[in-house]
Structure 1
């Protein structure tokens, strides 16, 4: 009975997600192997359950079990992939979605996998034939939110008419004949407008404060004028009543008129 010699390499024994030697390797229904922790962590971030290699979609989350044969092979050969040191992610940079420990800076984002990769985890996309076909763009955070829900393509344009982000296919369907511009260009325009508004806000606040002060001063002045007019009217009325009291006969009608005027003045 002839025996077959199998040649194992680091590539055969490495998880394509973490690029390290398999740790509790599991096999997906499509036949690809990953570390159990890696594939579960990968699916935890997704709304759909796809194979990271061939992109096959599983309708339900597969119940994966450890591949005992592959585990034994890994234990026997004990090889591992050397990972070069890379800079950690800095504030404002996009982190790698695959790194399980210290997150490294992403260098590319995949529009098919909807994942951002550091240089190390990007390696399968540069080596595996199927993954080479995936379009890569500059690192983008929260890729799922940047995809067109109708066409499943990245929102890279802005419709000026409806003021919404659209993908390339939208421009030949729902937004046909609508004026569109690159999203980056519209972002720069909006940023410039926002900067102008922010610069004008302090001046507008000061103008409003002056306007409020003017209105308050006008109210106070009107109140003073009204009080003065009332005081003058009372004084004039008092003088009039005094003249009437000394000049009129003390008839019943005269006293009634005096009492009425006094009640009005009070």
Structure 2
């Protein structure tokens, strides 16, 4: 039963035209009640004046008067109904500046009144002719920031020389000889500039992606070169005896360390490029978000930090230098020769004579000839 009574009460306090709680309820001569705005709009669209409920015809447009009793009842009961239908203000949202006590979420901000309104308190701006001329925008927090601190007047112009927002009085004082334009005009200019930046950022990202690909290819080729060097060294050193295994292991370790150094260098460069991509992507997101705002002041204040691309390093000459192995194998072979000479001196006399039987020149393959030190003609004596 309680539920039924509540439903009935809400219907009794609702306008049958807008189906919402009465707003400035008035009564027609036939005794029915409507919102003043609803019934006036209803009759404005008709050629004759009838009651929307009973269709009673009035020869002249009735003189509507406020239903005082119903208005008082709506103030007591209808407020709770409207509050139930309208959203409460959440953290980060703009509250209504007119709501007493607990504030509702604002739906519009007036740039003339410098006040944010919920749907209920916005009604005069939708009904009163003078208030209808006030420009309404999406809810804006801290409307006082739109006032000139020096003259306490609304900021509606932009000084092109000093790149700041000014009021009308500023143009005859501090900015008297400066070129000024309306905020909207400068907004359109800056929007065009920001649009150009938005088009350039993807190209900058693409260039860095190509550079990453180029670096990865260089590292891949360096790996192949390193593998080939290791294989060639293995082929040369496996022909030797005694300390060949140690020489080969030492050489491989050197090559891998140089390759690791190259890879670390490449990783550092890639990390820097990837971070620039992240920064540029975030910047593009901010640019897109700013391009969709209708708040001229917020746009122009934020534009300064976004109009120029973020400082980045010149990546056009960026490259990874492959490690060099020239002369490296010769160094290890020279050490190996000295080791072998020392080991040969330890051989017994009979064994030494047997080795001297195979005395001769060491013939190198053309490709590996440059690895041997100058004058390294191996003659076992």
TM class by shorter chain equals: 0.3 to 0.5
- TM-score scaled by structure 1? 0.42
- TM-score scaled by structure 2? 0.32
Q: Which has the higher helix share?
A: 2
Pick the structure with greater CA Rg: 2
